[in-house]
Amino acid sequence: MGAVKVIINKELKVAFNSLLIYIAYTAFLCVTGFACWFSGKNIFSSGQASLSNLFNVFYWTLFFLIPALTMRSISEERKDGTFELLFSKPIKTWQLIMGKFFAILLQVVICLALTLPYYITIASLGNVDHAVGFCGYLGLILVSGCYISIGMFASSLTPNTIVAFFITFAIEIGFVLLFEFIAELWGSGFIAALFTYLSIGEHFDAIPRGVIDTKDLIYFISVIIIFLALARHYICKNRF
């Protein structure tokens, strides 16, 4: 685990020395702030201290934010030719993958931590269930883990960061919108149940209401493992 920690520290140092992370954080806070406090469906117009709208805004904003954070994770290493330097050191491929994954996840956690004033403000306006609040943030972290693993897989496919961004975005659309659409189109039966299960929203929706199901945890962990394994496969494939 020492190598993983070194990679996490290195990735965080690079990220916070870059303007991109600050632009991403500013954009996230501006979009979520506007949606929560000034849009047509803001907290005040709803007349209730509801956390569901807050977490729904965060959910969709992360959908756009995370591809920007992951697009450089592997593709830039390939483009700059630094993989050879990395693998000349006693670092295994899975350690590189895990280090980069947790570094980006920490960046997202920090971003979500910056929204705590929103949560505190809503809590001051009425009675909120803090257990539900905890579950909501946990659900967002799990969804972020899925998006990050998808983004790292996309980044492993190409040295072009823009292409990696759009591949990530396309796969996210599949998991968030397309699978749900196919399930509704099919109506009922095994195919509908399969695509319903594959939809990220199906597993996220209950968590911000305080319902944590083992089935949902298994889904999120499985998606993360599958896409990180695919990223590792393509890194090894293009290593030589």
What digits encode the pLDDT tens for the residues 56-72?
Answer: 889 999 999 999 999 98
Contact at 8 Å (CB) between 208 and 52?
yes
Is pLDDT above 70 for 78? yes
DSSP annotation of 239 reads: T
Q: Mind listing the pLDDT tens digit for each residue in 120-132?
A: 888 887 777 788 8
Q: Mind listing the pLDDT tens digit for each residue in 138-183?
A: 999 999 999 999 999 999 998 899 999 999 999 999 999 998 888 8
Q: What is the mean pLDDT of residues 187-197?
A: 85
Q: What is the pLDDT of residue 48?
A: 59
Mean pLDDT of the chain: 86
How many separate domains does the chain show?
A: 1
The residue segments making up the domain with residue 57 are 2-237
**pLDDT-derived band at 40, boundaries 50, 70, 90:** low
Reduced to 3 states (helix: H, G, I; strand: E, B; else coil), residue 113 is helix
Q: What is the pLDDT of residue 237?
A: 78
